[in-house]
Amino acid sequence: MNRPVSARHSTFLLALAFIGFISLGLPDAVIGVAWPSVRDTFHLRQEAIALVLVISGIGYLASSFFAGRLMQTMGIGLVLAASTGLVSAAMFGFAYSPLWIAFLFCAWVHGLGSGAIDSGLNGYAAHHMSTRSLIWLHACYCFGALIGPVLMSSILASGRHYSTGYSAVGGIMLAMSVLFLITYRSWGEISSTSTSARTTTEPNTPPLRPRVALKYFAVWLQMAVFFLYTGLEVTFSQWTYTVLTESRNVSPVTAGIVVGVYWGCIGVGRIISGMIADRVGIDRLLRYCLLCAGSGAILIASRLPIEVAFLGISLIGLGLAPVFPCLMSRTPRRLGTQVSAHAIGFQVGAAMIGAAVVPGTLGVMAGIGGLEMVPVGTVVLFGLLGLLHERLIRLPDAGASQV
Q: Tell me: the pLDDT tens digits for 313-369?
A: 999 999 999 998 888 888 777 777 666 666 777 887 788 888 878 888 888 888 888
Triad 30, 31, 32: Cα angle to 5°: 90
For residue 118, give the nearest of 324, 379, 357 by alpha carbon: 324
Distances (CA, A) of 287 to 19, 77, 264, 272, 320: 30, 34, 21, 16, 11
Question: CA-CA distance, 275 to 96, in Å (whole number)?
Answer: 44
CATH topology of domain 209-393: Growth Hormone; Chain: A; (1.20.1250)
pLDDT, average across residues 92-111: 95
How much is the pLDDT for 203?
Answer: 43
pLDDT confidence bin for 399, thresholds 50/70/90: low
Question: CA-CA distance, 379 to 80, in Å (whole number)?
Answer: 37
pLDDT confidence bin for 402, thresholds 50/70/90: very low
Highest mean pLDDT among 97-106, 121-130, 297-306: 97-106
Name the amino acid, one letter, at 374. Answer: V
- pTM for the model stands at 0.68
Mean pLDDT of the chain: 81
Question: What does 327-369 look like in DSSP terms, one character per residue?
Answer: HHHHHHHHH-HHHHHHHHHHHHHHHHHHHHHHHHHHHHHHHHH
| Alpha-carbon Rg for the chain in angstroms | 21
* Count of residues making up the chain: 403
pLDDT confidence bin for 196, thresholds 50/70/90: very low
Name the amino acid, one letter, at 370. Answer: G
Task: Select the more confidently predicted residue: 191 or 329.
Answer: 329
8 A C-beta contact, residue 25 and residue 141: yes
pLDDT of residue 189 exceeding 70 = no
What CATH homologous superfamily does 7-187 map to?
MFS general substrate transporter like domains (1.20.1250.20)
How much is the pLDDT for 105?
Answer: 97
pLDDT of residue 390 exceeding 50 = yes
Task: Select the more confidently predicted residue: 235 or 208.
Answer: 235
Task: Identify the weakest region by mean pLDDT among 68-72, 284-288, 319-323, 334-338.
Answer: 334-338
User: What is the percentage of the chain residues whose pLDDT exceeds 90?
Assistant: 28
Please tell me if the domain spanning 7-187 has the same topology as the one spanning 209-393: yes
What are the start-end ranges of the H helices in 97-160? 100-128, 131-157
Highest mean pLDDT among 50-59, 83-92, 253-262, 266-275: 83-92
8 A C-beta contact, residue 347 and residue 226: yes
Q: Where are the domains of the chain?
A: 7-187, 209-393
**Which run of H or E residues covers position 16?**
helix 7-25
8 A C-beta contact, residue 63 and residue 111: yes
pLDDT, average across residues 150-165: 87
How much is the pLDDT for 54?
Answer: 80
pLDDT confidence bin for 46, thresholds 50/70/90: low
